[in-house]
Amino acid sequence: MHFILCGCKVNQYETNAMMQHFVEKNYEIVDFEEIADIYVINTCTVTNIADRKSRQMLRRVKQVNPQAILIACGCYAQVAKEELEKIPEIDLILGTNEKNKIVEMVEDFAKNQETKAEVSDVMHQIEFLEFGPTTYTEKTRAVIKVQDGCDRFCSYCIIPYARGRVRSRKMDAILSEIRKDCRRRNQRSRDHGNSYCFLW
């Protein structure tokens, strides 16, 4: 399978989290040059250009492998479900709150071949949505998510509608993830002769 990330550091973190969930279920992540059976596009909607790029990427992957399962998730999927439902190539549309159920939903689709659009109203979300400790990354630096959403509702910005109101992560969950990531990085750095992460 292959993941395509559009957008910000929050999307990067959530893409890493989704990848980790699939890897833990023995799925193999491949580069875009390789043909995949499943494509996950984590979309962005911060500008109209981001919207267009998300739509273009969704159409492009089915040209690579018309038989692949195609999942649209993320901010653009959250605010433009009806627009994405017009694109027949998409098999699953998942909103912001549905990302942490992606493995189950993909496996359900593989069994039943039933196209679904699951997008809940993020405005009613009051708890931070946990993915669990996310240590999977292809980057050198870790990204730790500590908060989601925005309460400002600026006239030019769509983020509160895509991510919901501000919700903070519990401190214990943040520290647990940092410690696990440090342990993983220290193990890797010992193998390469460097040390750059400290546990407290």
* Over residues 83-90, mean pLDDT: 95
d(CA 139, CA 156): 32
Range with lowest mean pLDDT among 160-164, 185-189, 194-198:
194-198
Model confidence at 192: pLDDT above 70: no
Q: What is the pLDDT of residues 147-157, one digit of tens each?
A: 999 999 999 99
With helix as H, strand as E and coil as C, how does 24-36 read?
HCCCCCCCCCCCC
Model confidence at 194: pLDDT above 50: no
Q: Residue 200's pLDDT band (boundaries 50, 70, 90)? A: very low
Query: pTM for the complete prediction?
Result: 0.91
pLDDT score of 140: 74
Model confidence at 187: pLDDT above 90: no
pLDDT score of 195: 43
> 41 is written with which tokens?
């596009």
> 112 is written with which tokens?
């039943």
Q: What is the CATH number of domain 2-189?
A: 3.40.50.12160
Sign of CA pseudo-dihedral 153, 159, 160, 166 = negative
Nearest to 91 by CA among 106, 102, 80: 106
Helix axes 9-24, 102-112, angle to 10 degrees: 60
* Over residues 15-27, mean pLDDT: 96
Cβ(114)–Cβ(138) below 8 Å: no
Q: Residue 136's pLDDT band (boundaries 50, 70, 90)? A: confident
